[in-house]
């Protein structure tokens, strides 16, 4: 084998090893709930509970409307917040927690981990945790990497902070669905006992956040119609 070919194969193998754990996101299309030891989570136990989770906030232009709708529906949720947005909006982040919602970390910056080294990821998680502490929030118990991109370095850095990586088993894809009804219908199709639902409380494209707000009532109605409860992630996973 020629030297250039050996180098190309070695480079490809290194890239595959770096990104291989990202196959963990395939759990959203399988019955997987958690991995052994709970390092990855896609669903809770099979009891009749669902967790609504929101990514990318706090966003002062859109998060308050999500919070108000959740209050009106009597639902508590889990928000995976970006550290840089917590640092920019500490009062809003504190309000999310004060209104009974759980706060997990989405990292500090919304960058794919495929683009970065272990040192960058470790620093990003540290900065995110520091931003939450500065805002008076509890130490996060859960971590969802941006885009759900999980590299080998993501796994190592999350474990070093004892942070389970929480992905999802249902999502609204509100950035591509044209209406709130379509967002709700997509979520309903993927609901099962223990589901972790992914939505966003920050605007991804024009109108996406308003579609989420309008979809919350039919989503929670579908959950209730099946005799299930919408609860924060900690309650879903605790088995209590």
Q: Which of 55, 124, 153, 201 is catalytic?
A: 55
Q: Which of 106, 113, 116, 200 is catalytic?
A: 200
Q: For this structure, is 55 an active site residue?
A: yes
200 is catalytic: yes
Rounded-to-integer distance, Cα 209 and Cα 227, Å:
27
Are 230 and 50 within 8 A, CB to CB?
yes
Residues taking part in catalysis? 55, 200
């Amino acid at each position: 084998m020629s030297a250039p070919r050996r180098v190309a194969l070695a480079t490809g193998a290194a890239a595959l090893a770096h990104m291989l754990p990202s196959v963990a996101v395939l759990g959203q299309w399988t019955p997987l709930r958690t991995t052994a030891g709970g390092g990855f989570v896609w669903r809770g136990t099979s009891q009749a509970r669902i967790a609504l989770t929101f990514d990318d906030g706090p966003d002062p232009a859109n998060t308050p409307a999500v919070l108000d709708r959740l209050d009106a529906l009597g639902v508590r949720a889990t928000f995976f917040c970006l550290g840089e947005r917590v640092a920019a909006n500490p009062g809003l982040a504190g309000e999310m927690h004060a209104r009974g919602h759980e706060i997990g970390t989405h990292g500090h910056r919304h960058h794919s981990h495929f683009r970065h080294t272990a040192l960058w990821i470790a620093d990003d998680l540290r900065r995110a945790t520091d931003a939450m502490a500065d805002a008076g929030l509890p130490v996060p118990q859960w971590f969802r990497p941006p885009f759900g991109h999980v590299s080998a370095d993501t796994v190592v850095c999350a474990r070093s902070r004892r942070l389970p990586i929480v992905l999802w088993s249902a999502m609204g894809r509100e950035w591509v669905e044209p209406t709130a009804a379509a967002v709700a219908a997509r979520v309903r199709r993927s609901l099962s006992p223990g589901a972790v639902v992914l939505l966003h409380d920050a605007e991804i494209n024009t109108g996406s956040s308003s579609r989420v707000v309008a979809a919350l009532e039919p989503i929670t109605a579908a959950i209730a119609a099946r005799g299930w409860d919408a609860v924060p992630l900690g309650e879903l996973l605790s088995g209590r």
